[in-house]
Chains A and B, each alone.
Chain A
């Protein structure tokens, strides 16, 4: 198992190299220059050239990329072009909000999705089943940013149940932390919850008509233990397989949600860095998100062996 995990980590190295390279190339192709931003209003061409030279912006793309990789290997993500702060510190300071949000959304996706799928599998084709299918299909079509705005105007402005914006770290108490997360978390978790619902529902539907379920009933097991012990573990296999994608999806979605709810997370940092062409900050964000996706996929891989013993061999 440990060897397998090590191999998977090694296989992720090319990914961690290629994604930042793509970002370098894309920024190089896109119009806009950080030196122009930094130079302020009405800059002279000489001033822009001087800034470009100081930051090494006029060097070829490949050279800049190689320099960045070299620095990262030494644990140095560089400094922000705009604020001169360490990128590493900026990310660490901001990742609490983002990771809390992603965690909330994913927990909601798993809990709500599993609950809905189990409810609808109790009576396939019944009223509950059709209602769940209908709701989940609608939920997939709802854009997170729109849902986020609706939730905020309803539960933060009209009814004032939850705070409308901001973020409180977990260290200041679980209550305030959670209450700030509910609205953005629900907005962000709706899509993955609907996806888990539909996928688990169809997997359960298939598993429940299989021969080993009939056999489990023939052994004198109760309906509940057949569902929770024999059916659910097998039905989780296809759901777990794509769980890594769901996390990537939620991480991407967190960018807009953080802006709507004015949360000091990585998403708003990323947007600011794109707008101001703050390349080191953007690269730091990209490297961080890629790493999160890699680690989640590794965990998925490891858990896969539990759900599907066939792959353990």
Chain B
């Protein structure tokens, strides 16, 4: 192995540094929606991006795909590097060549993510013709092969069906087939099972795990569901109100959370055997909207451990919170937080 190869292997596939994304404010000017977010994702790794709706997970993943402008926002600061290549200044032409063979994305609403006016086969073939340069016939064969790979029964017939003839779970399989058809190195899954039935969820997750084993694709898995994350990811990044509040290995974050928000999310996971007498734990209050973030720690208004006079005035930094974890909490060494308990 050459030195250059070794260097390439050691280098993370995706490295995000101090990413700040802004959207137009209704009163004029720009409001930050994601602020100074940093995390890395190694070759073949699975990293979860966790947080409530509105914490900035989707905005972050769209920024990785270079689609911030399409949704009306702008990357105001920071860097996103993919395989050692800086993406924030990449011209649109090169972006187009990267989306597909470099990275692909599946979305929360699989039915709405497919174009109702074209057959699923056309939509898969379109990607591979564009990126792999296959001819019409070969692209169609590839589409059938991919539909088969994502376990859609009678793939050779269904390739000519329109999206409305598929269920939500089947549409998500089609989406996965479409993205994986170009052999991407990074798959971004933005809440891919949120809109699906629980039983279907399980099968989609298993499919993602199998595909990852077969192809070695790296996975950025966006979810608010920690139970799902635990099944799939080695590393976890927790986001709240546009910033990273905790990150570390899945084991660290799950068993020894360093931030009260993470601890609260973990407590809110339903557990089997929960008696009818006990109520499911919740985090009181709701996530503040961008532009309305409070002074000091952004979580302090909802935090059971807040210290008046300190948490509401001092901005916390990410500090070490465990062997391989960091948390954005002023009181990280003073409080004892509950993680997942193994019964």
Chain A contacts to B: CB under 8 angstroms: 210-212, 214-223, 230, 233-234, 307-310
In the complex, B114 has a CB within 8 A of chain A: yes
* Complex contacts, B105 vs chain A, CB 8 Å: 215, 218
Interface centre among A230, A234, A309 (most CB of B within 10 A): A309
Does A233 contact B127, Cβ atoms closer than 8 Å?
no
Does A220 contact B113, Cβ atoms closer than 8 Å?
no
* Complex contacts, B98 vs chain A, CB 8 Å: 220
Given A218-B104, A307-B117, 18 new contacts (CB under 8 A): A211-B113, A212-B112, A212-B113, A212-B115, A212-B116, A214-B113, A215-B105, A217-B99, A218-B65, A218-B99, A218-B105, A219-B178, A221-B126, A230-B115, A233-B117, A234-B115, A234-B117, A308-B117
Expressed in whole angstroms, the Cα–Cα distance for A5 and B249 within the complex equals 63
* A-contacting residues, B91-125, CB 8 Å: 92, 95-101, 104-105, 107, 109, 112-119
For chain B, the bracket of interface size reads 20 to 34
For the complex of A and B, the 8 pairs showing the least CB-CB separation, nearest first, are A220-B99, A220-B100, A211-B112, A212-B115, A215-B113, A233-B117, A309-B162, A211-B113
* A-contacting residues, B188-230, CB 8 Å: none
Expressed in whole angstroms, the Cα–Cα distance for A218 and B65 within the complex equals 7
In the complex, B164 has a CB within 8 A of chain A: yes
Q: Which residue of the partner chain A has the closest CB to B99?
A: A220
Does A216 contact B67, Cβ atoms closer than 8 Å?
no
Q: Answer whether A219 and B99 are a contact pair too, CB < 8 Å, given A214-B67, A214-B71, A308-B117.
A: yes
Expressed in whole angstroms, the Cα–Cα distance for A310 and B117 within the complex equals 8
In the complex, B136 has a CB within 8 A of chain A: no
**Looking at the complex, which one of B70, B109, B117 makes contact with A217 (CB distance below 8 Å)?**
B70
In the complex, B36 has a CB within 8 A of chain A: no
Expressed in whole angstroms, the Cα–Cα distance for A185 and B117 within the complex equals 33
Q: List 27 A-B contacts (CB under 8 A).
A: A211-B107, A211-B112, A212-B115, A212-B116, A214-B67, A214-B71, A214-B107, A214-B113, A218-B67, A218-B104, A218-B105, A219-B99, A219-B104, A219-B130, A219-B178, A219-B179, A220-B95, A220-B96, A220-B98, A220-B127, A220-B131, A221-B126, A222-B96, A230-B118, A234-B117, A308-B116, A310-B164
